[in-house]
């Protein structure tokens, strides 16, 4: 149990020896051209298989499997619910003009994550679901009258409003099918994104403030996130449609910024950030929604002992071999090739660099969003 608690903020640290950790760190922190254990480039993602609309019993669903075998399934279900107008709202009359009834409420989106081996209320599932929900309900589109679609004014929250008295409640259930091999955030976020893209709500037949009733023909159901016709998409207007946010896991090792880290890579990271982005409907570029630091597991690793301090090696080596040098990334004295668990935090410049790599035009964030749109949602 205590083992799981420890795994709360970081994923389980693999059992790597200090020598292996040091080797990994050195190769990943090579200036300009890090060497990753699987030969990927720093911004390259692992191959994955994705499909959506796999469960007919849900409003939207998706499955993504990473090449390492971890799979996640997300099912989205929607229910009609009565909007509880608080007495305050009624009393305040036209002054308050029931903002909740028009702009939606964050609690209408519920998210639960199930990871085998973890209880529902363990820290890791709670932290992950709060992280993904926060960016999901936070993605409010301002000025829906502009280039964006009118239907998505107010973001996801606004879309859930049926009329002043009724709204949709969205349940997003995330199911991880096996014990996570690496920090499961990218997998869960991508799968949730895909499931939300494929989510449909029945077409409303009632009008205005009537009690809602719906067209029972599923063929005419409308997408939760409206999508354009093929024609529009090809003419480059696809970016105008609101898309669900996607949360990327970014680590920094030395001066390098590495995306989609594997378990071994995350074990030596100096800093781990989860960055949520979505597409800005007005400007057409990416918008930052939230950042959270994740406890890097490198702080929990075992330190190595340099030869100069090792009693067993006394006199075996020339003392000149171990000369502490200053690691420019961490600002600490280190003996090369001798692993020391990371200490301290991360410099502001490093954070800025990581965010820039995600957000920049043609950067990784755009690439991921485009890739996900490429998954045909039928």
Partner 1 sequence: MPLDTSTTYPLTRLRLDGRRWNELRLLQAQISTNPASSGSSYLSMGNTAIMCSVHGPAEGRRGEASGAAGSAGAIVEVDVNVAGFASVDRRRKAGGSDKQSSRIATTLRAAFQSHLHTYLYPHSTISIHVSVLSADGSLLAAAINACTLALVDAGIPMPGLLTGCTSGMSGSASTPRDPRNDELDPLLDLSLPEEQELPFLTVGTTTCVPVGENHMDDEEEETKVAVLNMDSKLHCTYIETMLAVGMDGCNQIRELLEGVIKGSNRG
Partner 2 sequence: MNDRRRVNGPPGGTRPPVYASLLQSGTGADIRAQRQRQPTDLRKIFLKTGLIPSASGSSYLEFEPSASLAAARSNPKSLIPPSSALKLACTVHGPKPLPRSAPFSPNLVLTTHVKYAPFAARKRKGHVRDSSERDLGVHLETALRGAIIAERWPKSGLDITVTILEAEDDRWWGDVPDSHDASWGMMNVLAGCISAASAAIADAHIDCLDLVSGGVAALVSDDSTDSSSALPKLMLDTDPAEHRSIVSACVVAYMPARDEITELWLKGDSSKVSTADGDERSGHEALIDGAVDAARGAHTVLAEAVRESLQKALGQS
Positions touching partner 2 (CB under 8 A) are 2-3, 5-6, 8-9, 86-89, 91-93, 95-96, 98-100, 105-107, 121, 123, 126-127, 129-130, 134-135, 137-138, 140, 142, 273, 280, 283, 287-295, 299-303, 331, 341, 343-348, 351-352, 355
Distances (CA, A) of 256 to 29, 81, 141, 187, 358: 6, 48, 33, 22, 13
**Judged by CB under 8 A, which stretch of 32-40, 177-185, 236-244, 278-286 contacts partner 1?**
177-185
Angle, alpha carbons 70-269-249 (nearest 5°): 50
Token pair in block for residue 86: 């608080």
Q: Of these, 119, 232, 356, 360, which contacts partner 1 (CB under 8 A)?
A: 119
Cβ-based nearer residue to partner 2, 3 or 229: 3
Q: Considering the rule CB under 8 A, would residue 187 count as an interface residue with partner 1?
A: no
Residue 7 binds: one of partner 1, partner 2, none (C-beta under 5 to 8 A by kind): none
CB atoms within 10 A of CB 250: 26
- Host H or E run for residue 200: strand 200-201
Work out how close the CB of 78 gets to partner 1 at its nearest, in angstroms, rounded to a whole number.
9
Residue 240 binds: one of partner 2, partner 1, none (C-beta under 5 to 8 A by kind): none
Torsions phi, psi of 361, nearest 5?
-60, 130
* Dihedral-angle region of residue 329 (phi above 0 means left; psi in -120 to 50 means alpha; beta otherwise): alpha
Cβ-based nearer residue to partner 2, 1 or 318: 1
- List beta partners, residue 275: 248, 291
By CB under 8 A, the residues from 53 to 72 that bind partner 1 are 55-58, 61, 65, 68-71
Strands 166-176 and 109-114: parallel
Token pair in block for residue 283: 């400007």
Cβ-based nearer residue to partner 1, 195 or 338: 195
Cβ-based nearer residue to partner 2, 176 or 346: 346
In 3D, which of 298, 84, 53 has the Cα closest to residue 198? 53
**Sites of contact with partner 1 (CB under 8 A):** 55-58, 61, 65, 68-71, 73, 75-77, 79, 112, 114, 116, 119-121, 171, 173, 175, 177-178, 181
């Amino acid at each position: 149990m205590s083992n799981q608690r420890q795994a709360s903020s970081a994923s389980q640290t693999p059992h790597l020896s200090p020598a292996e950790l040091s080797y990994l760190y050195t190769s990943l922190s090579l200036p300009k051209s890090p060497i990753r254990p699987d030969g990927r480039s720093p911004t390259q993602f692992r191959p994955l298989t994705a499909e959506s609309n796999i469960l007919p019993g849900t409003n939207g669903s998706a499955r993504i499997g990473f090449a390492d075998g971890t799979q996640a399934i997300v099912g989205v279900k929607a229910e009609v619910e009565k909007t509880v107008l608080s007495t305050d709202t009624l009393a305040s009359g036209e002054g308050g003009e029931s903002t909740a009834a028009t702009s939606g409420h964050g609690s209408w989106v519920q998210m639960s994550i199930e990871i085998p081996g973890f209880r529902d209320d363990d820290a890791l599932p709670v932290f992950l679901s709060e992280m993904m929900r926060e960016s999901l309900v936070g993605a409010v589109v301002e000025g829906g009258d502009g280039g964006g679609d009118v239907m998505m004014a107010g973001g996801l929250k606004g879309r859930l409003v049926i009329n002043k008295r009724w709204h949709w409640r969205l349940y997003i259930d995330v199911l991880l099918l096996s014990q996570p091999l690496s920090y499961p955030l990218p997998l869960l976020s991508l799968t949730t994104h895909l499931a939300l893209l494929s989510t449909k709500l029945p077409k409303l037949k009632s009008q205005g403030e009537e009690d809602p009733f719906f067209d029972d023909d599923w063929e005419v159901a409308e997408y939760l996130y409206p999508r354009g016709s093929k024609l529009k998409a090809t003419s480059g207007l696809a970016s105008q449609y609101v898309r669900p946010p996607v949360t990327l896991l970014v680590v920094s090792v030395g001066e390098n910024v590495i995306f989609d880290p594997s378990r071994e890579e995350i074990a030596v990271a100096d800093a781990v950030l989860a960055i949520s982005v979505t597409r800005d409907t007005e400007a057409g570029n990416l918008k930052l929604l939230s950042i959270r630091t994740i406890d890097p597991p490198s702080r929990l690793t075992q330190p190595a002992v340099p030869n100069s301090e090792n009693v067993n090696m006394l006199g075996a080596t020339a003392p000149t071999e171990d000369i502490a040098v200053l690691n420019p990334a961490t600002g600490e004295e280190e003996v090369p090739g001798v692993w020391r668990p990371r200490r301290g935090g991360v410099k502001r410049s490093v954070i800025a660099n990581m965010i820039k790599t995600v957000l920049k035009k043609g950067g990784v964030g755009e690439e991921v969003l485009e890739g996900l749109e490429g998954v045909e949602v039928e």
